[in-house]
Structure 1
Amino acid sequence: MSLSERLLEHGIRLPRYTQGDAKIRCPQCSHTRKHKADPCLSVTLDTEGGAVWKCHNCGWSGGVGAHDHDDYAPRPRSRTKPKPVKPAFTPNALPEGVIGWFGKRGISPATLDAAGVSYVKTWMPGCDQGATIGAIAFPYRRGGEVVNVKYRTSDKRFKQEKGAEKVFYGIDHIAGCKEILIVEGEIDALSLREAGFSNVLSVPDGAPQQVRDGEIDPDEDAKFEYVWNCRDELASVEKIILATDADAPGRALAEELARRLGRERCWRVDWPTANDAQRKDANEVLVGDGADVLRECIASARPWPIRSLHDADDFRDEVFNLFRHGRQRAHSTGFRSLDTFLTIRPGELSVVTGVPNSGKSEFIDAVMVNLALTHGWRFAVCSFENPPDEHLSKLVEKHIGTPFWSGPRPRMTEADLSRSLDWVQEHFTFIRADDESPTLDWVLETAAAAVMRYGIKGLALDPWNELEHRRPSNMTETEYVSACLSKVKRFAAQRGVHVWFVAHPAKMLRESGKLPVPTLYDISGSANWANKADLGVVVHRVTDAATPQTEIFIRKCRHKSVGKIGSAVLAYDPATGRYSDLPAPLPAQPARHWSERDE
C-alpha cells in the first residue's frame, strides 16, 4: 500500500507526496470550525517514506511508517523558551527640552515623573556601530521590577531591550481593576493618565498592518506574546476599552486584541472629528480638544460587536428602509404563468427535486439565462453531471433559441455559437473539482471567491449526491443534512446569493404505470430538505400531453412576497431545451344565428 493510500485511510489527502512539510485542513475538526479553510493540520513526510501529523486546533496527531502497518509516534518539536533578560536600567532626569516636548503634547512633568519616564544615551537603529544618541526611555515594570525598556528618539526610531520579557506597558497599574483601557503607544497611555485614568495599558510593539487569518496558537503568536504573558493579570478584568488609533493598523490591532481577550468583555472608542478630519488617537484629542473631551470619548465607548448578538438599534436603518421602500423586490423567472407562484430573490435557498430525466437542471439553466438576460445577473455553476462542453452547448441553445445539434431544424452557425459563447462568458462561471475532493465546504469556499471576483448573484449546485460527504460517526444523517443546509443558507444570506440545490428523491414506485409527482419529503436522506428550504420546487414531465410539457410545482414558499404554493405548466422544446409559457386559450365566441354568418 502506498503512502498516499495509508494517509487516506486517516482522511488525509495531500497536494503532493514529496519530502517536507505541508499544512492542510484537518479531517477531524475543520468541518466544525468557523474558519473552515484554515490549514490547521501539519503533516511532515520524512526521508524514509513515513509521515507524522498534528492538528494545532484539536490536537489530533499520529503517523504512518514507510511500510504497511508501521506506526510512528508524533515527534513534537522542543519549544523551550530562553529565560527573559532583565535590563540594567538606571533612571535619569529628563532634560528641559524633553519636558517641553511632552508639554506640547499635553503631558505634565508630574505625569512623566509618576511613570518614571527617563532620558538616556544609547545606540539606536540607524546609528553607526558603537555610536549613541539621546532617547526617551519608557520603563516597563512588572511586580515593581523593570522587565523591559522601550526607547524612542525624536525622529521616531524605536527599540526595546533584546531578550527582555514582553508585557503591556503599565501592567502594574491595573492590579485589582475590573475595567481597563488599552492604547497603541506609551504617549497615548500618558495622555489618558493626564486626563485622570490610571488603569491604562499600552501595547509594546505597535499595530499590525492587517488582521491575521486563521485560528490563534499561543505558542506561535509571537507578535502578541505580551497578551499571553500577562494573562494572569488580565483574567479578572471584566471590561476592556480598546482605544487604539483611528487608522487601518489601529483597527486591525483592536480586532486582534478583541480576538485574544474575548469580544464579550471588549468595548471600542470612536475618536471625534475636527475640521472634517478624525482625530487619530488619545494624544491628538488631549491636545486638540482637551481632557474633558478625552474623558467623554472613553465614557461613550461602545460594546464590541459580537457575531450573532445584536441590539435593536443595529437594525434601525434596515427597518426604516423596509418601511419606506418595502421588501426587496424579487425577480421574475421569465415565465409569466410561473411568476404567480415563484419569483427569485437573492439570499435565499431553492431546493429543486424531481424524478430522473424530469428536466431539473434544464429548468434551473432556463431561469438563470432569463435572469442574466433581464437583470444582468452572473452565476457560478457547480454541476457534476454535466461535462463543461455539454453544459455550455445547453446554455447557448437557451440563449439564442437555435439547436446546437443537427436535426429537423437548422442548427446554429459557428458565428452564432461564437457570439453566444461571448455572452455566456460574461454571465457564467464554472466550479470544477479538478484536483480537490468536491465537499460542500470546498464548493462554498470556491463560490465565495466567485462572489468576490465576479460578483455572482446565483449559485447552482447540482446534485447533492455527487458531493463527497464526511459525516462524523456520532452524527445521524438527518443531523448531517440539517447542518449542511444551514451552511448553504448562511452562505446565501451573507453573500446575497440565490442558491439552487438539486437533490434527487428516493426511488419511487410507479402508480398505474406512471411515476408519481414527488414531494420534498421524498428526497433521500432527511425531511430537512423541506424544512430548511426557502423555496421547494418539483420539476415533473407531463407525459400525456399532445406536445412536450413540464409542470413546475411550488411545494414550499417561506415568504409570501416571493410566491405561493401552486403549479404552472410550461411548454418544452426538446430541440433547444427552452421552456416557454403555453399559449393563452382563445376566448370563447358567442354563437351566432346562421343568418348572421359571413357570406
Structure 2
Amino acid sequence: MEEFTYESMVEYLGGQGVDLSQEGIWLGRIKCPCCGGGRTQELSFSVKMDRNRLFCKCWRANTCGRKFMFTDPASRTLWGPGSPAARATPDPMRVRQTYHHGASGAKKGKLGENLCDLTEEHEKFFADRKISRHTLDRNGVKSKKTQFGTAIVFQYFAEGQVVAEKMRALPKTFWSVQEHRCLYGVDHLKDAREVILTEGEIDKLAMDEAGLRHSASLQGGATGGLALGFGALAALRAAERVVLAVDGDPAGQECAKKTLIALQKELKREDRFYLVRWPEGCKDCRSPETN
C-alpha cells in the first residue's frame, strides 16, 4: 500500500484500539484503510504481528482484498538494541505497546501525568513554525516526561476534560494514550458558522494562529477517520460551511474523499462542503520548509 509506512500503519492501528503486543495471532476486525469497508462499512481489516513483521489483510476478497507486510525499521542493523540511535530515539512499536489503551485491553497509560512547561527545544520547534505561546496555551500544548524522554504532548480536550494525548518525540516519532476518540479541538467547534477540518494537530494550531479559531483535526491523521462524538456531529450539522483543509498529497486527498463520504452520510447534504486547494509547492497550511 504505497501511501503507508510501517510507522503510519502502526499509528492507524493504535487509533483503532489494536494491541500489537499480542504476537502470532490475527487481531482487529476494523475498517480497512484502503476500501473503508465499502458501502456497508464492513469491519474487514485484520493484522498480525510476528516478531518484527506486521502482516495486514482486508478480507473483502472480491472487492478489495489488499494484503501487505511491513518490517519494523527498529529491527534493522542500524537500529539494533545497542546502537546510539536506538538509545536516543524511542522505538514506535515499544512505545505503542506500553502506552496505548483502548477496546483491545492493551496496557493503560495515564492521562495528564508528568506534564511540564514546554522545554526550550519544544518552544523553538513551535517558534520555527510561527505558532505563538497564546495559541499553544489555548490548546493545552505542553511537554511531558515519559520513560522515552521528554516529548511534546497534544492534549485532546472534550467537554473540558482530557480524553486522549498524542506525544511527539522530536524529530518525528509519535505515540498516543486514548480513553475516547474525538477530534483534536472539538470543544472549539461549538456555535461555529464555519468549521475547518485539518489532517493534523499542528495544522489545527496553524489555523488558530491565522485567526481561524473554529478548527479541529482528525485524530489519526489521513487514516484516522472522522470522530463525531462530544458535540462534533451537532457542530457540523449546525455549521453553514464545512471546509476540508487536509494535505494536498495523495494520502491527504484520499482522506478528503473518505471524510466527504462520511460527512455526506451523516449530514445528508453536499452544498456546504468545501475543499482547500493549496498553491503549487505547498502541501498543507504550514510553510513548505516545516513539518
* TM-score class, shorter: 0.5 to 0.7
Report how many aligned residue pairs link the two structures: 184
1:9-408 matched pairs, under 5 angstroms: 87-90=110-113, 91-122=115-146, 131-162=147-178, 164-208=179-223, 223-224=224-225, 226-227=227-228, 230-262=232-264, 263-273=270-280, 278-284=281-287
CA–CA distance in 2 between the matches of 1:265 and 1:152?
A: 34
Shift of 1:159: 1.3
Q: TM-score, normalised by structure 2?
A: 0.57
Q: Which structure has greater strand proportion?
A: 2
CA–CA distance in 2 between the matches of 1:94 and 1:272?
A: 33
Task: Specify whether residues 139 and 231 from structure 1 end up closer, same or farther in structure 2 by C-alpha distance, changes over 3 A only.
Answer: same
CA–CA distance in 1 between the matches of 2:160 and 2:41?
A: 42
Shift of 1:107: 0.8
Contact 2:196–2:243 (8 Å) recurs in 1? yes
Instruction: State the percentage of identical aligned residues.
Output: 30
1:442-481 matched pairs, under 5 angstroms: none
Contact 1:241–1:268 (8 Å) recurs in 2? yes
Shift of 1:197: 1.0
CA–CA distance in 2 between the matches of 1:98 and 1:270?
A: 30
CA–CA distance in 2 between the matches of 1:183 and 1:39?
A: 25
CA–CA distance in 2 between the matches of 1:225 and 1:264?
A: 19
CA–CA distance in 1 between the matches of 2:140 and 2:133?
A: 10
Contact 2:192–2:235 (8 Å) recurs in 1? no
Larger C-alpha radius of gyration, 1 or 2? 1
Task: Specify whether residues 172 and 181 from structure 1 end up closer, same or farther in structure 2 by C-alpha distance, changes over 3 A only.
Answer: same
Contact 1:150–1:160 (8 Å) recurs in 2? yes
CA–CA distance in 2 between the matches of 1:266 and 1:149?
A: 29
CA offset digits 1:354-395 (Å, max 9, x no partner): xxxxxxxxxxxxxxxxxxxxxxxxxxxxxxxxxxxxxxxxxx
Contact 2:226–2:262 (8 Å) recurs in 1? no
Contact 1:191–1:286 (8 Å) recurs in 2? no
Amino acid at match of 1:227: L
Contact 2:242–2:273 (8 Å) recurs in 1? yes
CA offset digits 1:316-340 (Å, max 9, x no partner): xxxxxxxxxxxxxxxxxxxxxxxxx
Amino acid at match of 1:111: T
Q: Which has the higher contact order (CA 8 A, sep 6+)?
A: 2
Q: What RMSD, in angstroms, separates the aligned Cα atoms of the two structures?
A: 2.8
CA offset digits 1:202-238 (Å, max 9, x no partner): 1110113xxxxxxxxxxxxxx4262366323433223
CA–CA distance in 2 between the matches of 1:187 and 1:113?
A: 13
Shift of 1:282: 0.6
Contact 1:86–1:148 (8 Å) recurs in 2? no
Q: The residue matched to 1:224 in structure 2 has which SS?
A: coil
Task: Specify whether residues 86 and 121 from structure 1 end up closer, same or farther in structure 2 by C-alpha distance, changes over 3 A only.
Answer: closer
Shift of 1:120: 0.9
Task: Specify whether residues 259 and 97 from structure 1 end up closer, same or farther in structure 2 by C-alpha distance, changes over 3 A only.
Answer: same
CA–CA distance in 2 between the matches of 1:189 and 1:156?
A: 17
Instruction: Name the counterpart of 2:50.
Output: none
CA offset digits 1:420-442 (Å, max 9, x no partner): xxxxxxxxxxxxxxxxxxxxxxx
Q: The residue matched to 1:161 in structure 2 has which SS?
A: strand
